[in-house]
Chain A
Amino acid sequence: MGNLMDVCERAITGPVMSEKEFDMKVFIPRLNEVVKTYGIRYDRENPVPSDDRAADHLFDAAVEFMTKVGVYCLDTNRVMQFSREEVLTAVKEAPKVCYAGEGKEAGIFGMRKPDDPKNPWLHVGSGIVSSSEEYATNIVEGYASIPEVNSVNIPGLATLRGLPVAAGSPIEFYATIRGLRIGLEGLRRAGRPGLPIMNHHPTPAVAVTAIAASAPQFGCRPTDGWLCGAMAEMKINFDTLNRVAYLLAWGANVGAESGPMLGGLCGGPAGFTVLCTAYLLMGQLVQKGDYHLNFPFHFRHICSSTRDVIWGVSMAIQATSRNIQVPTIWAPYCGAGPNTKMYFYETAAILLAWTTSGAPSIMSPHPAKAVKVDGITPMEAKFAVEMGIAAAKLNRAKANDLVVRLLEKYESQVGTPPEGSRYQECFDVTTGKPKEEYVRLYHEVKDELSGMGIPL
């Protein structure tokens, strides 16, 4: 597999075409061809399939899709193409594990297989702006205080001293450093300063800010993780490649990031599952990821808890965990917010499906589509960790039965989910502990889920 210079060379020598041509004449028709050739079909009745052959078949489809489509460079208007041999070499040379964290908190983020009884890597937190400066430290401290947690995401900041954090401005740089200090302080307060932060940097939109704020004097460590995002769909720009170049030169963990959207350019569930799988190949070929963060979501409902997204991602996890060794965080979004039954049901369904499918990690789902400031608390993280551990004790067939029953509880509300509470409404901001009402709801739902056969 070539290095980043090889990627850059393809970005300036590949076939030239407009972005629209790439979407309409390459991406859409070739994805449709692959879906048809491989006979990939959505199975509505079984959101958690258990067919290993179908999973391997999906992986083959994704390899073919990758060789037929390539990756579009937005800065040069050229397509980086990869041969089948190159794709398969990338598969063979995939990292297998990611070393993350410092000192006592250093860990090895490794792989799992479908129906694997091994606990997943337990990753919690919200990746985008979700907390005000006032509560962010409390929230990170709460995440890190969950003993089983292996790594965290820290919040980004929307304002600094009341000024909006505008992309590419010096305010963005100052806010990035401030956000990082808040995250590190939260970890220190929990007594776990070495815990890896896997989403550097959540605040900045541009590489220059992210790179500048990564200077070691601000507290970043190469054993944390940096997200280097692809653009929808199968596109990249020099801004992302600049981040990758910097991190590779430093020796820091590169997180190849992508966000496949069901209903977008990939169309329905069949195209979506191929795309989810192919992004892990792109992450190795282009972003050179030490780990991958894929955040799949539904274009209309902006969440990952719909039946078709759960199915598509379950398939993709099975395909990738059986065929390529890339430690991957599958980052979900829930429609409902904290302190609602629906959030717990959505989380249970997602984590049962994806953990039994062989996801290397779980991540606590972003509540309320991640658009509500302070609409996230450590309680959701605690529940997700417990659910991830419980799910690892089950297999896909059992999870399928449970997910179908859970969908019955919330599916009709996916279009109009309850927003839920903000941190300061359901937590005591002084003690950093959940209020009685939220604790009661948590126990009520846990009892209900235990009664369904989930070993919580």
Chain B
Amino acid sequence: MEKQEILKSLMATIVEGDQEKARENSKQALLKQIDPLVAVEEGLSKGMAIVGKRFEQGDAFLPELLMAADAFKAAMEILKPVIALQKREVATAGKVLVGTVKGDIHHIGKDIVVTILETRGFSVVDMGVDVPSLTFIEEAEKAKTDVIALSAVMSTTMPAQKEVIDILREKKLRDKYLVIVGGGPVTQKWADHIGADGYGQTAVDAVGLVFKLMSKKR
């Protein structure tokens, strides 16, 4: 296969969500001496962008998005060690720490945000669900993230979003991070009340918000 063909099939394997093919095509790319960063940017990321766009337009749903993300990760298992050996890094749009707050075990909305952020080139630290407030901050400090994104799907767990922001203030770290909030019962009014930097009604809104806030920060 020629270089362009390999890049195209890398893109296609992501769109199809085929992990096996994604691994195989990544190996092919390296055998044909395609720069692994080019394979990521011109192949894998383009595929992710296509799936992300389809999802945002309502033409694809969560399974397609998750399968594409898994195929992307499978390909990166092959490409990443080579990129690391070359002491280079995949460019990212920013680093975001995402999790569902303490007392709340809902994960689907959070998973959608994580996956769309990844499709749009962000590096994401997924903290999972039922995350203690202080842990968010400790992990953001460790991972040096730009954004902390807090999901709460029950009205009784929304106070934990406020708690994270309050602790950031107490530790004099509030200005260091952009904090966004979301989840079923969360509203713009609540986001304003607790002093969040933004609110996304849907996962797609949340990702748009991260882009907007990051560009302002820069």
Contacts and interface: CB of A to CB of B under 8 A. Distances in A.
Chain B binds chain A = yes
Interface string A124-159: 000011000000000000000000000000001010
A267 B112 CA distance: 13
In which size bucket is the chain A interface?
Answer: 35 or more
B85 interface: no
B154 A164 contact: no
Interface in A238-268: 261, 263-268
A265 B103 contact: no
A265 B106 CA distance: 13
Chain A interface main SS type = loop
Q: Most chain-B CB neighbours within 10 Å: which of A128, A231, A263, A302?
A: A263
Contacts of B63: 28, 32, 265-267
Given A24-B70, A164-B162, A300-B58, A231 B105 contact: yes
Interface stretch (A38-46, A165-173, A336-344, A436-444): A165-173
Q: Most chain-B CB neighbours within 10 Å: which of A128, A158, A300?
A: A300
B103 A232 contact: no
Contacts of A128: 155, 185
B184 interface: yes
A293 to B, nearest CB: 16
B185 A129 contact: yes
Contact of B61 (A23, A206, A264, A302): A264
Contacts of B107: 19
Contact of A300 (B66, B103, B187, B202): B202
B204 interface: yes
Interface string B156-194: 111110100000000000000000000011110000000
A261 B70 CA distance: 22
Q: Most chain-A CB neighbours within 10 Å: which of B62, B104, B105, B112?
A: B62
B93 interface: no
Given A172-B156, A205-B157, 10 more contacts: A156-B155, A156-B156, A165-B159, A166-B103, A167-B104, A205-B154, A266-B61, A266-B63, A299-B108, A300-B58
11 contacts: A128-B155, A166-B156, A167-B156, A205-B156, A231-B106, A263-B58, A265-B108, A299-B108, A299-B112, A300-B58, A302-B201
In the A-B complex, the 7 residue pairs with the smallest Cβ-Cβ separation, listed nearest first, are A167-B103, A164-B159, A129-B155, A167-B156, A267-B61, A205-B156, A166-B159
Interface of B: 58, 61-64, 66-67, 70, 102-108, 112, 154-160, 162, 184-187, 201-202, 204
Interface of A: 19, 23-24, 28, 32, 74, 128-129, 156, 158, 164-168, 172, 203-206, 231-233, 237, 261, 263-268, 299-300, 302, 369-372
